[in-house]
Amino acid sequence: MLPLYPLKFKTIYKDKIWGGQKIKTYLHKDFGSLPNCGETWEISGVKSAVSVVANGELEGESLADLLEKYLGDLVGEKVYEQFGNIFPLLIKFIDANEDLSIQVHPDDELAEKRHNSFGKTEMWYIIEADPGSTLISGFNKDLTEKQYLDKFNSGHLTEILNKEEAKAGDVFFLPAGRVHTIGKGLLIAEIQQTSDITYRIYDFDRVDDKGNKRELHTEEALAAIDYKHYPDYKTKYQSEKDKAVELVSCPYFTTNLLDFTKSTSRDYANLDSFVIYVCIEGEFAVKYNGTAYPVKMGDCVLLPKSIDKVQLETTSGFKILESFV
């Protein structure tokens, strides 16, 4: 078998009813003839949209094929034992030119029972935000299912939702069960479990270009929703230059922010997992085994588990999200 190396993948572009142009104008990723781009899937093991390698000797190979061939060398022994031939994370960029639908995702237990799928816990890092942008995360008070339904059925759902101002650098962790929506004007990097299950609760009565409303999942959502109120919906962290700062740690992934002004090395010898870099600012090169792999804003790189140490070389500085299981 060919030796593994830092892998880049072909971006999967998705137009959405709420999508915009920032994927092109801000991240400089060309989505071609699509009218807009609401989401890009950068690294995906979702069966309907599996990523394909874009660089090096393995170019053209799918992530699913790599996993079957390389097993724990690609993802780590403990990760392979837990997830088998399903790559456990899905990495996206999301451009909300309009509010997304109000929605919720099921947890592992419910998703397994209903869809034979993983649940969907996720996190958002706000890359760029129009002035005054907001998002919804959770409820503004504790609720029962009946209280929730009363507000929903009377058309006053938004009165019980927790609205947050959102600006560049903000982080939101969204465990499965948390009602949420990304608000207009936000460009986001999303790290999530490998799942494409969304229960759409309310879609602002929007219609598509054929005049059709999108399907709602009112009943399905009821068993998925966490009706509790939580004191902090925005993740608190202190950014530090030239140091890895932990943003989120949960059973599904850990994500650190690396905001570096200079070159650095990263040692993963004690980590039994792949590592993903999502570049959200600047540029650098991943130097491994005598080869430099260039990375710029909007790029994502998968470091297989077989890579223990890399050098990140930069002249201008970079900001990346570093994620692993």
- The separation between CA 305 and the C-alpha centre of its own chain, rounded to angstroms, equals 20
Q: How many CB atoms lie within 10 A of CB 249?
A: 11
315 in Cβ contact with 185 (< 8 Å): no
Q: Are 276 and 300 in contact (CB under 8 A)?
A: yes
- DSSP run (H or E) holding 113: helix 108-115
Per-position DSSP letters for 257-318, written without gaps between them: EEEESS-EEEE-TT--S-EEEEEEEEEEEEEETTEEEEEETT-EEEE-TT--EEEEE-SS-E
Catalytic residues: 200
Tokens 């915009």 label which residue? 20
9 contacts 302 by C-beta, under 8 angstroms: yes
Q: Is the four-CA dihedral 140, 143, 253, 8 of positive or negative sign?
A: negative
Q: Which two tokens stand for residue 325?
A: 């299981």
| First vs last C-alpha separation in the chain | 25
Q: What is the Cα–Cα distance from 162 to 102, expressed in whole angstroms?
A: 12
Residue pair 73/91 in contact by the 8 Å Cβ criterion: no
Backbone phi, psi, residue 311, to 5°: -105, 130
Query: 4: helix, coil or strand?
Result: coil
Token pair recorded at residue 275:
């590592």
Q: Give the Cα-Cα-Cα angle 44, 297, 295 (nearest 5 degrees).
A: 80
Return the closest-CA partner of residue 120 out of 309, 252, 7, 220.
252
Helix (H) or strand (E) holding 42: strand 39-43
